[in-house]
Structure 1
Amino acid sequence: MNSSARRVVVALAAGALLSVAACSGTSVLDLEVGQCLTDTASDDQVSSVPVVECSEPHTGEIFALPQLPDGDFPGEQAISDQADQLCAGQAFQDYVGLPYQDSDIYYSTLVPSTDTWDDGDREIVCILAAQDGSSSTGSLRGANR
């Protein structure tokens, strides 16, 4: 698959996970690498996500939580570009076992908004996801695919 087609799929997967409502669940500021998520509702702002054991059906798995540097809000596009670099790079390879471009696993991101940036949020949440948004069971750590 060419990189532009792959990026479109990633954007669609990100949209699906970004639609998780601000309902009961784990605060996005308290997430940890290795946690698995389910997708349950529809809102653009995410303050919490439903976390489940990875042995249960889930639509995403957190594989990295890189921090952006302090400073003025760099803009949505700059944050999106940085998230792509951080999530599709070494963090993906270290967790999955293959470089992103060689893998059949996709990723999506949750990123700070201007409002959360003003509150000190600098965390990018890197989430593994299936291309079609389907659920799976088990962890993708070391999946080598």
Structure 2
Amino acid sequence: MDNQEQRPFPPKPAAPPTAGLPQVSAPAANTTAAAEPSPPKHSRGTSILLKAVFALVLVGVVFALVWLANRLDSQPVAPAGDPGSGVVEISPTPLPTPLALPREGVVPPDYRLGDCFKDFDPAALRSTVVACDTGHSAQLVAVFRYPAGDSYPGREALAAKALEACRAAKLAPVANDYALNFQRAYPSGTSWDSGDRRVDCYVTADAGNVINASVLP
């Protein structure tokens, strides 16, 4: 019973009523006062409305989170080797169809991470790329690419970035079988203006084409 109370019986008269006066019958025993009215129904309705609003807000938040997750997942991820990746690349990305080797007259912008070079000269405008299991004197083991919109950082900054690339390079145990040096290459102001944004790190053998295996893992 909601919010009901029992009130006391009316007191009995002290003496019988005076003759001639209307008789008032006493209330029946165990008679209780009428129950007080139940609380107004609008309180319950308000509670239901608030729960419905909360449920709608919760559904909206969940939908927004799912939408955001799908949008983030759909953003294209730049593969390793894209210009301006902003990281030192040390793991070659194989081509779907390997290029035929040897390849002569390859220009520096076409050098790929992991390429092995015969009679390598870092200052040459063209080189010969050969299979790494044949005699070669150098291999490209790390690359860093500046974003296309960057301004020329200066020779010292480029040299420092090339050193960073060489330090990041990971070599396989077979590299210990050869007397190797790290050699760095980076753009000049002129080549930068022409679009060159690559910093390269090579391992080279002073003895010539004596390397007969890839030194990358």
TM-score (norm 1): 0.63
What is the correspondence of 1:29-48 to structure 2 with a 5 Å cutoff? 29-39=109-119, 45-48=123-126
In the alignment of these two chains, the number of paired residues is: 107
* Change in 2 beyond 3 A, CA 1:40/1:82: closer
Separation of aligned partners in 2, 1:88 and 1:28: 21
Query: SS of the counterpart of 1:127?
Result: strand
Q: Which has the higher contact order (CA 8 A, sep 6+)?
A: 1
Separation of aligned partners in 2, 1:107 and 1:73: 24
* Change in 2 beyond 3 A, CA 1:79/1:39: same
* Change in 2 beyond 3 A, CA 1:139/1:72: same
Separation of aligned partners in 2, 1:46 and 1:134: 16
- Among 103, 115, 122, the residue aligned to 2:197: 122
- Among 103, 106, 121, the residue aligned to 1:26: 106
Give 1:105 deviation, angstroms: 4.3
What is the correspondence of 1:77-96 to structure 2 with a 5 Å cutoff? 77-89=156-168, 92-93=169-170, 96=171
- Among 26, 42, 53, the residue aligned to 2:131: 53
Separation of aligned partners in 1, 2:214 and 2:125: 24
Query: Could you say what the CA RMSD is over the residues aligned between the two structures, in angstroms?
Result: 2.4
> Larger % of helix: which?
1
TM-score (norm 2): 0.44
Equivalent residue, structure 2, for 1:139: 214
**Identity in percent:** 25
Amino acid at match of 1:141: L
Which structure has the larger Rg? 2
Asked if structure 1 preserves the Cα contact closer than 8 Å seen for 2:182 and 2:203, the reply is: yes
Equivalent residue, structure 2, for 1:17: none
Asked if structure 1 preserves the Cα contact closer than 8 Å seen for 2:158 and 2:186, the reply is: yes
* Change in 2 beyond 3 A, CA 1:125/1:51: same
Unmatched segments (≥5 aa) in structure 2:
1-103, 174-178
Unmatched segments (≥5 aa) in structure 1:
1-23, 99-103
Give 1:47 deviation, angstroms: 2.6
